Structure formats: C-alpha cells, structure tokens
Amino acid sequence: MHLVQDKDEKCRLESLEQHKQQVNHQVAEQLHHNSRPQLTLPVHRPTDDTSLPSFSANEKASVVAEPPNVAEQLIADNERNIKLVQRDMPRTFGNHPLFQDGAAGTQKTYDVLEAYTCYRPDLGYVQGMSYLAAILCLHLDSFGAFRAMVSLMSTRLMFDMYRLEEDRTFLYLTVYDTVLKHELPTLYSHFQEIGMDPKMYVVDWAFTLFTRCVPLEVVLRIWDCYIYLGTPFFFQACMAILVMYEDTLLTMDLGDAMKFLHNVPKVRSILDSHTCMTAQP
C-alpha cells in the first residue's frame, strides 16, 4: 500500500516539475496573448500580513455600539473612492482604443476598481491602481480581472507600497539603492552627482508596475515575469531598463533624466522585450 502511495506521490511531483519547467520556458521566451489569463489568475496567495486588519476588543465594542456611524463612514469613503476613480480613468491609457471615453475597457476597469475598493476599504483607491486594473482588463473578463487584482495587490511589493506607510516604502528604496550601487556603480555615482534620488522615479515604477513609463508591449513582458517570479523580479526589471539606457542617462542632467525615466522612449521599439528581460549589467 505504501509503495503505491509513494509511486503516486512521485508521479505527482514529477508532473508538477514538468509543468513548472513548461511555464518557466514560456515566460522566458514570451507568452502568447492567449496564455496570459492562465498565468495571471493565480498570481500569489495573500500572506498573513496582507490579510484584513485585526481589531482590538475596544474597537470591536465601538463598532457594535455605533453601527450607523461605521456604515456612514464606509459609504462616505466609497463615494470618495468612486470620485477618484472617475477622475483618473481618462488619464489611464487614454490613447488605447479600448480605454477611450465610453469604451468597453474603460467601464470594465471602472467596475473592477469599484469592486476592489469595496472589498478592501482599508486600502481604498490610490492613484496608480487604475493602471493595474486596466492591464488585467486587457486579458480577462470583469470577474477574472477582479480576482487577479485581489491577488496582485496581495503580493508583498504592491501591498506594502499601497499602504502608503513611509517606513515600508523607505525599505524598498533602500534595497533598490543598494542593488543599483552594486550592479551599476557608474550610473549610481552619476545619479548622486545630479541629485537623482530613487524616490523620484522608483515609487512610480512600483505603484504602476511600469505601466505608466514604458510601452505596453514591454509592460506585458515585465508582468509575465513579475507574476511568475514575484517581488524580487521588480528590482531585476528596474536594472534591465537602466542597463539598456545607461549610456544615454550618463549624459543627462537631473531634469532630462527625470523626464526620461518617467516616459522611457519607444526608440528601438524600446527594449526588445526579450533583451530587456535578459539584460545583465
């Protein structure tokens, strides 16, 4: 009996390993458009520290004692979130036909964001979420995009950034600064000389997972790898972009470098996606 169970377990593990290698190969080479929903849906399971906030006994007693006030606050917060979403939507991929005013993609993205802010009122809506939801809506139906949004926002990088807690943001910036100094010391020194602080551009890269600063075809490749590899890949993608344009950035002053990093040009079809993902310092 044990021999049969051991054999079944061995077959299961071998099957999982084969599937992992297959997905790894697909991600490395470039996923087909139709394969992205299957990769996007699972993302990462929420960790313990990304669960809904716990409440003390006094807070629970307060909620029970004053339920109308709590309900009114939730309604007010939701109305505020909806107004923020409505304001940001026209600026999200405004040149893409699916996200023009009144287009199907715009409404779907709006619905996903409204659902998410109701699901996580502790986070609410923060500028930048519209870009994340829009990317998901390119590949999934509304419910699938909502599920993926929940999972994506539960990854450590996304959740920590969107909590808007300075100490957590500072931790990521410190890691980034250390990696940059180690991998690209010449560019690091140049950034120091011109006064380029990582928070001037890395925060935006993290909040939108690069969707606001690089062309869509490259964003999709970055997301393929981020979803599969997790938070550490964010730093690899940052370095890949800087490696591709190090020579250009070394000639720039602070103003030009800021503009460049917030809107990486489409020259060279901006980074051919495979080169970007495999670039090494």
> Both 170 and 136 in a single domain?
no
pLDDT digits (tens, 9 = 90+) for 19-57: 445 545 544 555 445 544 554 544 444 444 444 444 455
Tell me the mean pLDDT in the region 166-171. 92
Asked if residue 43 is part of any domain, the answer here is no
pLDDT at 214: 87
> Both 150 and 171 in a single domain?
no
> Both 250 and 187 in a single domain?
yes
The domain boundary, picked from 132, 154, 176, lies at: 154
> Both 166 and 270 in a single domain?
yes
> Both 274 and 165 in a single domain?
yes
pLDDT digits (tens, 9 = 90+) for 107-135: 888 889 989 988 998 888 888 898 899 99
Asked if residue 237 is part of any domain, the answer here is yes
Its domain, for residue 120, covers: 48-154
CATH of residue 215's domain is 1.10.472.80
Domain count, the chain: 2
Give the predicted TM-score (pTM) of the model. 0.70
> Both 168 and 273 in a single domain?
yes
Asked if residue 9 is part of any domain, the answer here is no
Q: Token digits for 235?
A: 């730093």
**Above 90 in pLDDT, residue 74?**
no
pLDDT at 252: 97
pLDDT at 242: 95
Asked if residue 24 is part of any domain, the answer here is no
> Both 188 and 137 in a single domain?
no
> Both 187 and 217 in a single domain?
yes
Asked if residue 41 is part of any domain, the answer here is no
